[in-house]
Chains A and B, each alone.
Chain A
Amino acid sequence: MTVHNLYIFDRNGNCLYYNEWNRKKQAGISKEEEFKLMYGMLFSIRSFVSKMSPLDMKEGFLSFQTSRYRLHYYETPSGLKFILNTDLSVSNARDTLQHIYSNLYVELIVKNPMCASTQSLDSELFSSRLDAFIRALPYYSPRAG
């Protein structure tokens, strides 16, 4: 069980935050390009999912998995996007992502007037709290995977 990495995008596709914990394989491109690639894929998936769905959806796109990892997706009505990659044993990280939004992002970024929410976040308090929160997750375990 493990957590690989986390992305936070704003509604315009800027990557506000990125951190990784157990990532063995790097993309081989610059981080800026990786963020663009990631956001582009998410954007496409959202539109794909909403067009292909035979029924009206409530939540839309939630997650996908490959043979080795699972990508969890949470989007707020204000368009913030939280993406968490874990290994396959984590079936649902929705609560985790919601917690990061409402207890960390809103409390430490939105309520901090010195943090502009349109550029990458440079709040040390946010980073350290988030890191501590991820490391305390029941499915965070750096050894496995």
Chain B
Amino acid sequence: MSRQSNRTADSKKMNSELFTLTYGALVTQLCKDYENDEEVNKQLDKMGYNIGVRLIEDFLARSNIGRCQDFRETADVIAKIAFKMYLGVTPSVTNWSPAGDEFSLILENNPLVDFVELPDNHSTLIYSNLLCGVLRGALEMVQMAVDVKFTQDTLRGDNVTEIRMKFIKRIEENLPAGDE
């Protein structure tokens, strides 16, 4: 196994169409494999989670960002830095709950859905559900348990795409059991 590590590529850019089409192929295949939108949503979320737990390390190493002090800062970092870095878009952060533990990411254009039209028989498919898993997995690695879901989707006739994020709790770090 030979792998090159090209560290010159700090902001490696590539054609987003390749990414979009690859994602489309993935979703298409999952739809064939499972024949059930709920199950496809679940699989996408799971795959996203697995990506997120690795992606966070790449993000931290590249951006050199420290721990966030509160959820508002987290929202800013996600929208302005992370989405920009990986998807080339900057969603807006709105609809804060009074307690400051919930907010929405509004995507004007979702790069994952550039060439997509949902057929009528997939009305419950959450096409970009991978993103929810990515966000959840990445935040879990920095000690934040969050709930992430799509509440609006242009693919299903809404005007914008909205991802709702809810802070659940801080994951405390424990001394490993079994000694002393």
> Residue B56 at the A interface, CB < 8 A?
yes
Which of B57, B60, B67, B176 sits near A12, CB closer than 8 Å? B176
A98–B141 alpha-carbon span in the complex (Å): 18
Q: Does B65 contact A (CB under 8 A)?
A: yes
B176 touching A78 by the CB < 8 A rule? no
- Residue A107 is within 8 A (CB to CB) of chain B in the complex: yes
The contact string, 1 if C-beta is below 8 Å from chain B, for chain A 54-79, is 00001100000000000000001111
Count B-side interface residues using an 8 Å CB cutoff: 22
Proximity bits, A65-104, B CB within 8 Å = 1, else 0: 0000000000011111000000000000000000001110
Binding site for A on B (CB under 8 A): 1, 3, 5, 7, 54, 56-58, 60-62, 65-67, 141-143, 173, 175-176, 179-180
| 3 nearest CB pairs, A to B | A102-B61, A13-B176, A107-B5
30 contacts between A and B (CB under 8 A): A11-B141, A12-B176, A13-B175, A13-B176, A36-B176, A58-B66, A59-B66, A76-B57, A76-B60, A76-B61, A77-B60, A77-B142, A78-B57, A78-B141, A79-B141, A79-B142, A79-B173, A101-B61, A103-B7, A106-B57, A106-B61, A108-B3, A108-B5, A110-B54, A110-B57, A110-B58, A111-B54, A117-B54, A125-B1, A125-B3
